Amino acid sequence: MNPDAPLLSIRDLVIEIRGRRLVDVAELSVDRGQIVGLVGESGAGKSLLLSSILGLLPADATVRGSIIFDGVELRGVSERLLREVRGRRIAVVLQAARAALTPTLRAGTWIERALVLHRVPAAERRSRIAHALDAVRLDPALLRRYPHQLSGGEAQRVAIALAVALHAELLLADEATSALDVTVQAEVAELFRELRLTEGTSILIVSHDLALVAGLADRIDIIADGSIVERGGPSVLSKPQHRVTREMVAANPTLERVQGVAP
Amino acid sequence: MAAPGRALRYVAVRPGLAIGLSIVAILAMGAILAPLLAPFPGDAGNDTNLLATLQPPGGVHPLGTDLAGRDVWSRILFGVRISVGVSVVIIVAALAVGVPVGLFAGAAGGALDALLMRIVDIFLAFPSLLLALAIAATLGPSMEHAAIAIVVSWWPWYARLMRGEAAAIRGRAYVEAARLLGIAPWRVTLRHILPNAIGPVIVQSSLDLGGVILTFAALSFLGLGAQDPTPEWGLMVEQGRTLTSTQPWVALFPGAAIMVAALAFTLLGEGLRERLDPKGVARP
């Protein structure tokens, strides 16, 4: 495999549900070790795009185009092969942090089971989990807890720790910080930055939060009505060209304004 | 799971649950120890004593004797094995059919779901006692046939309840997260949906046990279930039916046993509901 080729490369991807074209992306790629932000308003097709990467679209959706991950076309691949990719090579961190953990399983059991599923040898599991907990700065004692006994930030760290323990090469963060309060958001964002440095993880951050993405991403793609309408470094936000980008920048309250409103 | 101390405290603040559990424990002891506790174990079988028919309660017959001179207390004790024991087997069998059907319908959705639920609807269109009666009457009077009849009329309720819970859980974030982790659909269904959806079904089955005890007794009372000399409580009530004004103990005590057993399981189910099905609890 060519190490210079993008880790993830999407081309001419069209997703239609009941005749409505919801996603139409000509080109989207994530290089190795890169953090890419995909920013758009709700309903712009961000989540659908993510689901399509892992082949988990609703049954009534039709897909055309190409999704190449590490040199391999994922479209049309067997369900069994896709399951090998899911979690182990491409991990997803969802918005609903606590709700994304199965309530009847302890956090530690949840991680352990996923490692067993992806055939991580028993001898390696303990050290991988220890390393992952260290990487996300999570107290090992929390692994004995059930999801309802964790805070949102802790639950999100558990999910990210699993991605680290599975040595996921690509992390898809689907509004992963949106449900957290501001200080925890900053901690999770910092965690993403560190993961890229220490683990070499590539990250695709999907969010409507411009400020967060601007502080993290090497490149930002703005998506509107299913298509990428603007693209560039974090500077796209200072000189927005497209109408949607301008609107989002304008709608994003500056820190001063937030402080002015809060009592 | 929960520490024994926590479980004890949970029971201690719920007198209904405590009473229900105590009665169920006593019933279980009675069923297990019946041969030791019953003064006339043979009276639960083919023995008769025509020299001591219709003796009033007291003396060697604490609850009197019936028309065949059999000790009512001994028969009630052995009857726990029949009336409660068979009812438990019936519920377990109904769950064994209803839970998988409902789980896979709810977890799969789509055409399979629609097909299975329409079949369930057909069963639910008939009142369950009436359906059980019709099936038992068709199969012919015997305890096994009565039990089969109740299972057939009861499983669709669990299928529908389970289907609703599973369908609700299917849309939860943790089910999506499990699929995104590469977990196979059947494993997601069994490990992530089932444990989180089964609670209300367990509660309902415990509440239903009282109803099944009543239905099973009713079928025997009507002559479609257990046959003499089986010490089934409903059958015993039927045998004392014509004697209620002169020798009331023959029907009264088995009748009371049915009531107490049904009540115990209802109390047990209500007590468990708060733990297993919090949304079903009416708050004061």
pLDDT, tens only, B187-240: 999 999 999 999 999 999 989 999 999 999 999 999 999 999 999 999 999 999
- Position A239 pLDDT exceeds 80: no
- Residues of chain A contacting residue B196, judged by C-beta atoms under 8 Å apart: 102-104
Report the gap between the CA of A236 and the closest CA in chain B (Å).
32
Any CB–CB contact under 8 A between A5 and chain B? no
- The whole-number pLDDT of residue A253 equals 58
- Position A254 pLDDT exceeds 70: no
- Position B273 pLDDT exceeds 60: yes
- The whole-number pLDDT of residue A261 equals 40
Amino acid at A144: R
Q: How many CB pairs under 8 A join A and B?
A: 58
Please tell me chain A's helix, strand, coil percentages from 3-state DSSP, rounded to the nearest 5.
Answer: 40, 25, 35
- The whole-number pLDDT of residue B198 equals 93
pTM: 0.85
Tens of pLDDT along A163-204? 999 999 999 999 888 888 888 888 889 999 999 999 899 999
Asked if B181 lies within 8 A of A114 by C-beta distance, the reply is: yes
- CA angle, A15 as apex, A12 and A17 as ends, to 5°? 160
Asked if A101 lies within 8 A of B177 by C-beta distance, the reply is: yes
Report the gap between the CA of A255 and the closest CA in chain B (Å).
32
Of B265, B149, B261, the C-alpha closest to B204 is: B265
Chain B residues whose C-beta is within 8 A of a chain A C-beta are: 110, 172-174, 176-184, 191-192, 195-196
Tens of pLDDT along A211-222? 888 888 999 998
Which residue stretches of chain A are H helix? 46-53, 79-85, 107-117, 122-136, 152-165, 182-198, 210-216, 243-251, 255-261
Asked if B173 lies within 8 A of A114 by C-beta distance, the reply is: no
Of B210, B179, B176, B205, the C-alpha closest to B102 is: B205
- The whole-number pLDDT of residue B2 equals 52
Tens of pLDDT along A126-142? 999 999 999 999 999 99
Of B257, B252, B261, the C-alpha closest to B64 is: B252
B284 — pLDDT class (breaks 50, 70, 90): very low
A257 — pLDDT class (breaks 50, 70, 90): very low
Asked if B192 lies within 8 A of A102 by C-beta distance, the reply is: yes
* Mean pLDDT of the residues in chain A: 87
Those residues with Cβ within 8 angstroms of residue B75's Cβ, 6 or more apart along the chain or in another chain: B43, B44, B66, B231, B236, B254
ipTM, 2 dp: 0.85
B123 — pLDDT class (breaks 50, 70, 90): very high
Of A232, A227, A230, A262, the C-alpha closest to A247 is: A230
Q: For a pLDDT cut of 70, what percent of chain B falls above it?
A: 96
- The whole-number pLDDT of residue A5 equals 85
Q: In angstroms, rounded to a whole number, what is the distance separating the alpha carbons of residues B136 and B149?
A: 5
- CA angle, B69 as apex, B67 and B74 as ends, to 5°? 110
Any CB–CB contact under 8 A between A101 and chain B? yes
Q: For a pLDDT cut of 90, what percent of chain B falls above it?
A: 82
Asked if A94 lies within 8 A of B182 by C-beta distance, the reply is: no
Those residues with Cβ within 8 angstroms of residue B68's Cβ, 6 or more apart along the chain or in another chain: B48, B49, B50, B53, B229
Those residues with Cβ within 8 angstroms of residue A145's Cβ, 6 or more apart along the chain or in another chain: A106, A107
Of A197, A195, A205, the C-alpha closest to A165 is: A195
Any CB–CB contact under 8 A between A145 and chain B? no
Among the partner-chain residues A56, A101, A114, the one whose CB lies closest to the CB of B174 is: A101
Decide if B154 contacts A77 (C-beta within 8 A).
Answer: no
Q: In angstroms, rounded to a whole number, what is the distance separating the alpha carbons of residues B213 and B259?
A: 9
Best residue in A104, A106, A111, A149 for a mutation probing chain B (most B CBs within 10 Å): A104
- Residues of chain B contacting residue A104, judged by C-beta atoms under 8 Å apart: 195-196
A231 — pLDDT class (breaks 50, 70, 90): confident
Amino acid at B256: A
The mean per-residue pLDDT over the stretch B154-166 comes to 96
Those residues with Cβ within 8 angstroms of residue A42's Cβ, 6 or more apart along the chain or in another chain: A208
Those residues with Cβ within 8 angstroms of residue B153's Cβ, 6 or more apart along the chain or in another chain: B123, B126, B128, B129, B131, B132, B135
Any CB–CB contact under 8 A between A117 and chain B? yes
Asked if B179 lies within 8 A of A86 by C-beta distance, the reply is: yes
Report the gap between the CA of B171 and the closest CA in chain A (Å).
11
Report the gap between the CA of B195 and the closest CA in chain A (Å).
7
Those residues with Cβ within 8 angstroms of residue A24's Cβ, 6 or more apart along the chain or in another chain: A13, A14, A15, A226, A227
Report the gap between the CA of B110 and the closest CA in chain A (Å).
10
Best residue in B1, B172, B181, B194 for a mutation probing chain A (most A CBs within 10 Å): B181
B182: nearest CA in chain A? Answer: A83
A216 token code pair: 């993290």
Tens of pLDDT along A45-100? 888 898 899 988 888 889 999 999 999 999 988 999 999 999 899 999 998 888 99
- Position B283 pLDDT exceeds 60: no
Any CB–CB contact under 8 A between A55 and chain B? no
Q: In angstroms, rounded to a whole number, what is the distance separating the alpha carbons of residues B81 and B188?
A: 38
Asked if B177 lies within 8 A of A159 by C-beta distance, the reply is: yes
Among the partner-chain residues B110, B179, B182, the one whose CB lies closest to the CB of A117 is: B182
Asked if B192 lies within 8 A of A114 by C-beta distance, the reply is: no
Asked if B196 lies within 8 A of A103 by C-beta distance, the reply is: yes
Report the gap between the CA of B174 and the closest CA in chain A (Å).
4
Q: In angstroms, rounded to a whole number, what is the distance separating the alpha carbons of residues B115 and B119?
A: 6
Instruction: Indicate the length of chain B as a whole number.
Output: 284
Those residues with Cβ within 8 angstroms of residue B272's Cβ, 6 or more apart along the chain or in another chain: B17, B202, B203, B206
> Quick one: DSSP state of residue A148?
G
- Residues of chain A contacting residue B178, judged by C-beta atoms under 8 Å apart: 102
> Quick one: DSSP state of residue A82?
H
Report the gap between the CA of B162 and the closest CA in chain A (Å).
17
Q: Which stretch, A228-232, B13-17, B158-162, has highest mean pLDDT?
A: B158-162
Any CB–CB contact under 8 A between A92 and chain B? yes
* Mean pLDDT of the residues in chain B: 92
Decide if B40 contacts B72 (C-beta within 8 A).
Answer: no
Amino acid at A141: A
Give the Å distances, CA to CA, from B78 to B38, B40, B82, B253. 8, 10, 7, 14
Among the partner-chain residues B172, B183, B184, the one whose CB lies closest to the CB of A99 is: B172
B281 — pLDDT class (breaks 50, 70, 90): low
* Three-state secondary structure of chain B: CCCHHHHHHHHHCCHHHHHHHHHHHHHHHHHHHHHHHCCCHHHHCCCCCCCCCCCCCECCECCCECCCCCEHHHHHHHHHHHHHHHHHHHHHHHHHHHHHHHHHHHHHCHHHHHHHHHHHHHHHCCCHHHHHHHHHHHHCCCHHHHHHHHHHHHHHHHHHHHHHHHHHHHCCHHHHHHHHCCCCHHHHHHHHHHHHHCHHHHHHHHHHHHHHHHHHHHHHHCCCCCCCCCCCHHHHHHHHHHHCCCCCHHHHHHHHHHHHHHHHHHHHHHHHHHHHCHHHCCCC
Query: Distance of alpha carbon B15 from its chain centroid, rounded?
Result: 22
Asked if A118 lies within 8 A of B182 by C-beta distance, the reply is: yes
- Position A259 pLDDT exceeds 70: no
Residue B11 burial class via C-beta count within 10 angstroms: exposed 0-12, middle 13-18, buried 19 and up: middle
Of A164, A143, A32, A18, the C-alpha closest to A87 is: A164
Question: Which is it for strands A35-39 and A202-207: parallel, antiparallel or unpaired?
Answer: parallel
Peptide bond into B41 cis (omega under 30): no
- Residues of chain A contacting residue B176, judged by C-beta atoms under 8 Å apart: 56, 94, 100
- Position B259 pLDDT exceeds 60: yes
Q: Backbone phi, then psi, for A30, in 5-degree steps?
A: -125, 120
- Position A256 pLDDT exceeds 50: no
* A51-60, A250-259, B47-56, B166-175: least confidently modelled range: A250-259
B108: nearest CA in chain A? Answer: A59
- Position B261 pLDDT exceeds 80: yes
Asked if A100 lies within 8 A of B181 by C-beta distance, the reply is: no
The mean per-residue pLDDT over the stretch A227-254 comes to 75
